[in-house]
Amino acid sequence: MLRNRKTRAACAAIALIGATLTAAAVPATAATAQTTACPTGWGSVAKTGGTATTTPVNNIRTGRHACFDRMVVDIPGAGSGLGYSVRYVDRLHQDGSGRPIAVAGGAVLEIRVGAPAYDPETGAAVYPARAGRPLPGVDLTGYRTFRDARFAGSFEGETQVGLGVRARLPFRVLPLHDRIVIDVAHTWSGVR
């Protein structure tokens, strides 16, 4: 009988220790499962603004963020108020020729920047891209939203890019000093 009590007491102690350890582990797990609140309200309608410049596009780069993927068109020396037009299209067509350019993804954003990719005085290319080809130096491996980025050309002082995204998702355009920023959200819900 005494042995039974000792066994029961030992079992109760082990159960109490196990319950304590389990309870201590739950808050740590819950803390790592927090979600990130992402901006909402961007929408997917066309966005335009600003005015054209003769200062050429110098670079196009991309980046990944917690809530969105980002494309930046650098136009050093252009200042503020740069012209742009960003909209979803069924298919990307090159300005001037009308030639279709294949862009991978569930949806295609046509990005137009009011700046040439060449020196207006000499006609020499400043941004080393070729029409219909991927953007030089842009690797979209591991991006949640971006799937493809193609140079469509630079025609009559305007540079055109096709950005393939996973689906028709909300986006915003930020015209900043010497650059245009395009952010495409990972989701419509605003939760990462």
Domains of the chain by residue range: 1-34, 47-185
Q: Which has more confidence, 34 or 13?
A: 34
Residue 34 pLDDT: 59
Q: Which residue has the higher pLDDT, 79 or 149?
A: 149
Whether residue 99 contacts residue 136, with contact meaning beta carbons closer than 8 Å, is answered with: no
How many angstroms separate the CA atoms of 149 and 73, rounded?
A: 12
Query: Mean pLDDT across the stretch 157-183?
Result: 97
In this prediction, residue 142 carries a pLDDT of 95
pLDDT of residue 21: 41
Contact assessment for residue 73 and residue 52, using Cβ atoms and an 8 Å cutoff? no
Residue type, 90: D
pTM, 2 dp: 0.80
Can you give the pLDDT at residue 40? 77
Query: For 47-185, CATH number?
Result: 2.60.40.3500
Read off the pLDDT of each residue in 170-187 and give the average, rounded to a whole number: 96
84-89 and 47-49 strand pairing = antiparallel
Distant-in-sequence, close-in-space partners of 52: CB < 8 Å, separation ≥ 6: 83, 114, 115, 157, 158
* pLDDT at residue 27, rounded to an integer: 44
Whole-number pLDDT of residue 4: 55
The predicted structure's pLDDT at residue 37: 81
